[in-house]
Chain A
Amino acid sequence: MTRRKLTILGLGAAAVLALAACAPGAPSGEGDTTQPPVESADPADFAGETLSYVYFTDGPDEQATRDLIAQFEAEYDVTVELEILPYADLVTSVQARLSGGNAPDVVRLTGLTDFRADLLDLAPYLGEDYVEEFLPGPVQAVTGDDGELLAVPSDLTLNGPFINVDLFNEAGVELPDPEDPWTWEEMTAAAQEVQAATGTPYAFAMDKSGHRVSTVLAQYGTQLVSDGEASLDVAAAEEALTPLIDMMAADTMPRDFWLGSGSRYAGANEIFLAQDVPVYLSGNWQVAQFAQAAEFEWAAAPNPCATECGGFPGGKFMAAFSASENPALAAAFIEFMNNTESQEAFVAASSFLPTRADLAEDGVTYPDRQADMDVFLADLVRTPDVTFAANADPAFSGSATALITAMDEVVAGQSDLPTALTGLQGEIEALVAELDS
């Protein structure tokens, strides 16, 4: 090897070693948290300023958001730069922007786990009592370890079933009573009766999602995680999942749909819209889509009860980053977007559920499908508080993925349910330990 090559190699190795000696990232800076509360801030103080808002859309909410932004811009004489990202890219894109020192001021998120250390404590801006305007369940998700207000819950979703009314009527099967929830046995029996009478390929379908399966676990009184601990009760989970596994074994619940999507999320809405199934477990965000796309009569049905009733919650949050150049304006924007009038307009246009206590109590007038949204609102009251904490837990997402893998093994015949659930319990414990370390 020539001296020249040796020199080049040496320089290359030195550069790599020098690089390896440097941590590839640096903690982000803290924002100014000494601002007065927003309610005492004068909108004129922000005149001429610009705010960036990174958003993802579920569809009908986009126009409602644009309308509210226009109102805010007019009232505060500011410019809001709305950037809409595909949901699949949201976390990585925002993380990349944070790493590059180009954090947006405000972001819409489905969970805080990936950003918790970077979020602005909104309490100094919005007041310590501000959270009391919201339902206690979603507030659990936005409260930091030291009581910080890391985000504002901007809308709620709730998992729950839909039924094909036409198929139920054709089969002569009684529709469920929204005021008196059916049981799991009653729901699956009705679904199978409709399937037998109408000849649909399947009786029951649900999205392939750990979040959706968590609905069933919650109804049988267990959670994947709770209060930062693994909390799966294997016996309760076995009781909860056995009907699903049995239906997939009999192919009355679509087995190929479940196995064919691998580790990816898969929505069964197309199966429901094709009228291949009379009962479909998903959530209230489908209401707006079904109102547009369904060519048959359908309805939201109450969640089935086992040891518990109600559904499993999800939702979105509006958060600001501590690296924001204008945290006071970001807080004012979040406050504006979530005041009673704004949130009512937003959730009504999007078929979402409110997070504000006053709206939950007084009800929301939806322009369409009011009866279906009322079914979800009624189920929200029945939903146990522990489900909100479970959904907000940092280990929930990873645990939900592990739950799907465990179910896959059982559905594919590679494991029995008790063995798979025992393995799942170990995986959740390892995951919680990893996130704690």
Chain B
Amino acid sequence: MTTPAQATTRPAGAPTPAGPRRRRVPLGLRMAPYLFVLPNMIIFGLFTIWPAINGFNISLYESSNGRNFDWVGLDNYRRILTDDEFWEVVRNTVVFALAFVLLCLLIATALAVLLQAQGRGKSFFRAVFFLPVLLSPVVVGLVWNWLLERRGGLVNTILTPFGGGDTGWLVESNLAMISVIVVGVWMNVGFYILILLAGLQGIDPSLYEAARMDGAGAWQQLTSLTLPLLQPSLLVVLVLSTIHGFQAFDFIYTLTGGGPVGATTLIVQYIYENGFVSPIRYGLASAGSVLLFVTVFCLTLVNWFIGRRREAV
């Protein structure tokens, strides 16, 4: 029996057929792409990858000074997972992140669609919505702290004629969490609007023309055309806002300090306080960081896979 390979074997002495010859790329040219990214990779490796690996390593030790380390194995994880305060912080973080992600997605999508549809003043409004992104989170926290003060704060001053002039925005637990969510969304939504605007500009206008000719109204165009075609950008916003939501800290620290009574303390503040406030517990703080990394990484993967599958469908 003749195999296909044998069947195609050339007889001895037959001339070699003229085919495309592989040109050998010079070594310098092959190395060029790697050399271009090398400076960035060195910085990334030194200041991101190495500290991340070292952080995992430190989580297996206990240290109060960053120099003397006692091996404790998984004790830091055991301790953190049996700490009631940690679970309270996790609850706060989940509430904040869920509300933050949902509101960012809804508001950014709505505003991006409105801005895209707007004929005049588009650039002005785009700049207005983006402005808070340029502000330092610390400044944002301080400014909103003044705005939301019970006595003399601008928000309560405006609310006084409507009977809400004595609202304790930052000193009542539930109101403080709502305040923190609102400020977080206000500070970040401009960035997500820009991402979605870029996505909207990539949609072929002729599709809308065709839809209009087929009698589709504005709502149908939005649900059947815009949103499905905007999915890749929405996926990016979903992933980024999830990461931002779980990592929120700086503006909250200056806005409420995590209070009242821990009501707005999120996981990064828990890590910060264990790592940098006496008694210093570097191992415990590192274990918290590893848990946060694993959580955000898993959520990002889930978001990504779900998004890709929908895109494929």
Contacts and interface: CB of A to CB of B under 8 A. Distances in A.
Contacts of A50: none
B51 to A, nearest CB: 11
A400 B86 CA distance: 20
Among A20, A98, A409, max chain B CB count under 10 A is at A20
Contacts of B259: 259-263, 408
Given A19-B53, A22-B57, A262 B257 contact: yes
Given A405-B261, A412-B173, A263 B68 contact: no
B60 A92 contact: no
Interface string A255-284: 110011111101000000000000000000
Interface stretch (B34-42, B195-203, B272-280): B272-280
Contacts of B269: 263
Contact of A398 (B56, B68, B278): B278
Q: Which of B56, B171, B277 has the most CB of A within 10 A?
A: B171
Contact of B265 (A262, A409, A435): A262
Nearest to A410: B261
B61 A260 contact: no
A262 B264 contact: yes
B261 A259 contact: yes
A117 B57 contact: no
Interface stretch (A24-32, A53-61, A140-148): A24-32
Interface residues on A, range: 35 or more
Contacts of B61: 23-24
B289 interface: no
Nearest to A89: B276
B253 A264 contact: yes
Interface in A88-114: 91-92, 95-96, 98-99, 111, 113-114
A25 B145 contact: no
Given A24-B58, A398-B279, A431-B279, A263 B257 contact: yes
Interface in A393-423: 394-395, 397-398, 401, 405, 408-409, 412, 414
A255 B171 contact: yes
Interface residues of B, number: 40
A244 to B, nearest CB: 16
B132 interface: no
B256 A262 contact: yes
B248 interface: no
A76 B14 CA distance: 95
Contacts of A155: none
A218 to B, nearest CB: 20
A98 B63 CA distance: 14
Query: Is the contact region of chain B dominated by helix, strand, or loop, or is it mixed?
Result: loop
A137 interface: no
Nearest to A12: B53
B279 A99 contact: no
Contacts of A8: none
Contact of A408 (B58, B149, B261, B278): B261
Contact of B69 (A25, A92, A260): A25
B146 to A, nearest CB: 11
B171 A260 contact: yes
A113 to B, nearest CB: 7
A382 B158 CA distance: 51
Interface string B55-71: 01110110111111101
A221 B69 CA distance: 38
Interface string A194-232: 000000010000000000000000000000000000000
A25 B168 CA distance: 47
A170 B265 CA distance: 43
B187 interface: no
A372 to B, nearest CB: 30
B11 to A, nearest CB: 37
A170 B52 CA distance: 62
A196 B57 CA distance: 60
A253 to B, nearest CB: 14
B184 interface: no
B258 interface: yes
Given A20-B56, A256-B170, A262-B259, A397 B278 contact: yes
A72 interface: no
A117 B68 contact: yes
Given A24-B54, A24-B57, A114-B64, A414 B276 contact: no
A409 B263 CA distance: 11
A6 interface: no
Contacts of A22: 57
Given A263-B265, A408-B260, A414-B261, A118 B58 contact: no
A96 B66 contact: yes
B260 A259 contact: yes
Interface in B247-306: 253, 256-262, 264-265, 269, 273, 276-280
A260 B68 contact: no
Contacts of A263: 257-259, 262, 265, 269, 273, 277
A398 to B, nearest CB: 4
A173 B54 CA distance: 62
Contacts of A27: 67-68
Contact of A256 (B53, B66, B149): B149
Interface string A114-145: 11011000000000000000000000000000
Interface string A55-85: 0000000000000000000000000000000
Contact of A397 (B170, B257, B279): B279
Contacts of B276: 91-92
Given A24-B57, A259-B171, A431-B279, A264 B257 contact: yes
A412 B262 CA distance: 11
Contact of B261 (A24, A412, A434): A412
A1 interface: no
B257 A24 contact: no
B151 interface: yes
Contacts of B67: 25-28, 95, 98-99, 118
B279 A19 contact: no
B163 to A, nearest CB: 19
B93 to A, nearest CB: 15
Nearest to B286: A24
A44 interface: no
15 contacts: A16-B53, A16-B57, A25-B69, A91-B278, A96-B66, A113-B278, A117-B65, A255-B171, A259-B259, A260-B259, A262-B257, A263-B257, A397-B279, A401-B278, A412-B173
- 7 smallest CB-CB distances across A and B, nearest first, come from A262-B257, A262-B259, A264-B257, A397-B278, A262-B258, A259-B260, A259-B171
